[in-house]
Amino acid sequence: MNLTKNIPDMSKVTHPNWIEINLDALHDNIEFIRSMIPPKTKILLPVKADSYGHGSLACAFAAEASNVDFLGVAHMTEAILLRQYGVQIPILILGPCIPADFPYLIEFKLTATISDMHTARNFDEYLHTVGVKAKAHLKIDTGMHRYGVRADDFDTIRAILSLKNLEIEGMYTHLATADMAGNPNTEKQIDRFTRLVNVLAVDGIKPAICHCSSSAGTLLHPESHFDMVRPGLALYGYNPMGTYPAPWPIKPLMKIKATIRTIHEVPAGEGVSYGQYWVAQQPTKVAAVAIGYGDGYLRGEYNKGFVLIRNQLCPILGRVCMDATMVDVSLIPDVQIGETVEVVNGEADPRISMEALAEEHHTIPYEITSRVARRLYRKYYWKHRLLRWDDLKAEFKIPEFKEFPYRA
């Protein structure tokens, strides 16, 4: 049997749920950030974790087209994926470099993060042996205590900066509390980094790209901008301070949509969904919507939250299941099976924004967007046109690499 004969054109199969990614919003958010930093300050877009769930290839190409200077990933595998698909701009691997990375850093022209003396020396010796030079950024620990050389360990920092084959093009730190308004730790970390930059400057040493701030630092602490900023969440359009709308003109990239699969009447006294945590007080019209925790929609607590159908907020009833969520549609008399449901869309109603959903589940927008499941179909908008994956490949001249398990 020829199995391929039985595979239909998947773009024509109707999708029970999907995400819409507005790449024009990414472009506009980049322009906004650019307007608030000095003209020579560069922008790095973190595209790790599949661009926080928005699709690392699509976002990388849109960022490249929007003249972003650097991309940031966490791991080597994420960086190689981007290079295999033809992404050209500098890629900084934000996670600490290990010796197994050395050959790939050179082959794929990637920029490593050096977090300790031992690896720095190893890399320098490796480069000497193979007869090439490579660029890296030195990570400084100013108080996050995750990665990096301590900001007051001047001897180690000077020693790493003086290596011959390893060119330390950048030096950076990461702020732990910039999204917590008024937290004195932020100032302390910025001060430690500034002091280090100044101490080195006395010796005439200045790594070309010093950087410090992610979204909250970029938006709230201009003194942390240095030579490059690394805002992720803000460029994806969510407020790092947690409220919607944000007090800055940033637009969310992601909308989550689903369809109604069934509509039925639940008699008074009957419970709905696993555990029967919601019991009808009166006959209630209930719709089962094709979105569940298998799609990344958080199960969390029961009887909490809303979806939007025809601009009407519909409360979630009982527990979110793996593939379905039941909602009260009593207020929409002629509601139909197959109708589109706005699951997350802050622009349609702030009460279903990513920020509101995150607050309801005691988490952060990052966790929700980065856990959106691959089974949701992706619709991209670029230059105000709807692009499917094939259109996107044509638009950005993306080559096909079938061996990779994920894409866009």
Ligand X SMILES: Cc1ncc(COP(=O)(O)O)c(C=O)c1O
Active-site residue numbers?
48, 274
For residue 162, the one-letter residue type is S
The residue with its CB nearest to ligand X is 232
CA dist., res. 150 & res. 159, Å (int): 13
Measuring CA to CA, how many Å separate 362 from each of 9, 34, 181, 237, 342?
A: 40, 31, 18, 20, 21
Q: How far is the CB of 234 from ligand X (least distance, A)?
A: 6
For ligand X, give the closer residue by CB, 240 or 292: 240
Residue 382: exposed, middle, or buried by beta-carbon count in 10 A (0-12, 13-18, 19+)?
buried
Roughly what angle, to the nearest 10 degrees, separates helices 23-36 and 56-65? 50
For ligand X, give the closer residue by CB, 233 or 266: 233
Roughly what angle, to the nearest 10 degrees, separates helices 56-65 and 389-396? 30
For ligand X, give the closer residue by CB, 25 or 233: 233
Q: How far is the CB of 230 from ligand X (least distance, A)?
A: 4
DSSP string computed for 102-113: HHHHHHTT-EEE
3-state secondary structure of 132: coil
For ligand X, give the closer residue by CB, 55 or 292: 55
CA dist., res. 372 & res. 301, Å (int): 18
Structure tokens that stand for 294 in this block: 């298998």
For ligand X, give the closer residue by CB, 168 or 316: 168
Q: How far is the CB of 142 from ligand X (least distance, A)?
A: 12
Q: How far is the CB of 146 from ligand X (least distance, A)?
A: 8
Structure tokens that stand for 309 in this block: 């159908």
Q: How far is the CB of 93 from ligand X (least distance, A)?
A: 10
Measuring CA to CA, how many Å separate 7 from each of 2, 78, 176, 337?
A: 10, 29, 49, 26
Structure tokens that stand for 193 in this block: 């980094």
For ligand X, give the closer residue by CB, 125 or 359: 359
- Give contact residues for ligand X (rule: CB under 6 A): 46, 94, 174, 214-215, 230-234, 240
Give the Cα-Cα-Cα angle 180, 182, 184 (nearest 5 degrees): 95
Q: How far is the CB of 390 from ligand X (least distance, A)?
A: 30
Q: Name beta bridge partners: 386.
A: 381
Q: Phi/psi class of residue 201: alpha, beta or left (left: φ > 0; alpha: ψ in -120 to 50)? A: alpha
